């Protein structure tokens, strides 16, 4: 996990599309992350425009669903549609665990992750392979890797653009797609970038 954070140059995520990146960066790809998706009352029409924007640019991204919110709102028709359409367009669905998991023991965190993975598979038919844990450590990675999860901390850097889901998300993604295309890069899912690294 530490090697991934080093390779990705992970830092705190930003909510602007002007993330200073020392371009050109090695490799042809950058990961696009949408964190804390979906925000409460995320408009379906905005979501449709987001997917169309990504489709038009040929970009892919990773949507990080906060586990506690997914568990609370997961069976709503809106949430089911979001997950179905993300999977249909071959974007990545990942889980984000809140700060509270940092005070849990490894066994408690693993149990919560098992519950989250089973829920995603049972309710949405989706297999999750990436988990975002604030301040991820070797201890966290050791607890989650046996479940087939790659752990990352919240990050943004030369090869990762991360945005929280807010009312400016479309603008941020649009600017990022233009910015990366201008440098001959393309946006990919986080797992694809990790494979490239």
- The enclosing domain of 190 has a CATH number of 3.20.20.370
- pLDDT for residue 144: 87
Number of continuous H segments (helices) and E segments (strands) in the chain = 8, 7
Q: Would the pLDDT of 155 be above 70?
A: no
Can you tell me the mean pLDDT for 50-55? Answer: 97
Please give the structure tokens belonging to residue 52.
């169309």
User: Tell me: the pLDDT tens digits for 161-182?
Assistant: 999 999 999 999 999 999 999 9
For the chain, give the percent of residues with pLDDT over 70.
82
Q: Is 17 a domain residue?
A: no
**Is pLDDT larger for residue 150 or for residue 1?**
150
pLDDT of 21 higher than 60: no
Show the tokens assigned to 53: 């924007």
Element (H, E) at 97: none
98 token code pair: 């809140």
Q: At what angle do helices 77-88 and 44-57 cross, to 10 degrees?
A: 0
| pLDDT tier for residue 100 given thresholds of 50, 70 and 90 | low
Please indicate, yes or no, if residue 51 is contained in any of the structural domains.
Answer: yes
**Which pLDDT score, from 0 to 100, does residue 25 have?**
58
Q: What is the domain count for the chain?
A: 1
The CA distance from 93 to 77, in Å, is 17
**What mean pLDDT, rounded, does the chain reach?**
82
What single string gives the DSSP state of each residue in 2-33? HHHHHHHT-----SSS-----SSPSSSEEEEE
How far from each other are the two terminal CA atoms of the chain, in whole angstroms?
12
Kindly state whether residue 22 falls inside one of the protein's structural domains. Answer: no
Q: Identify the domain containing residue 50 by its residue range.
A: 2-11+29-196
In a domain, 142, yes or no: yes
Using CA atoms, how far residue 193 sits from 19, 37, 188, in Å, is 18, 20, 7
Residue 182: how many CB atoms within 10 A of its CB?
A: 9
pLDDT for 176 equals 93
pLDDT at 10: 42
């Amino acid at each position: 996990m530490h090697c991934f954070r080093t390779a990705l140059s992970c830092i705190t995520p930003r909510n602007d599309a002007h993330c200073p990146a020392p371009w050109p960066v090695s490799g042809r790809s950058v990961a696009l992350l949408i964190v804390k998706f979906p925000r409460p009352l995320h408009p379906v029409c905005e979501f449709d425009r987001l997917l169309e924007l990504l489709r038009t640019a040929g970009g892919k991204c990773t949507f990080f669903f906060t586990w506690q919110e997914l568990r609370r709102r997961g069976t709503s028709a809106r949430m089911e549609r979001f997950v179905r359409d993300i999977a249909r367009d071959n974007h990545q669905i990942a889980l984000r665990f809140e700060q509270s998991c940092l005070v849990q023991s490894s066994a408690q965190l693993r149990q919560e992750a098992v519950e989250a993975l089973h829920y995603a598979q049972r309710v949405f038919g989706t297999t999750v392979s990436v988990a975002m844990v604030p301040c991820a450590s070797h201890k966290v990675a050791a607890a989650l890797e046996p479940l087939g999860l790659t752990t990352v901390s919240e990050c943004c850097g030369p090869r990762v653009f991360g945005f929280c889901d807010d009312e400016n998300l479309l603008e941020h993604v649009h600017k990022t797609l233009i910015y990366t295309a201008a440098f001959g890069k393309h946006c990919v899912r986080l797992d694809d970038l990790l494979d490239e690294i």
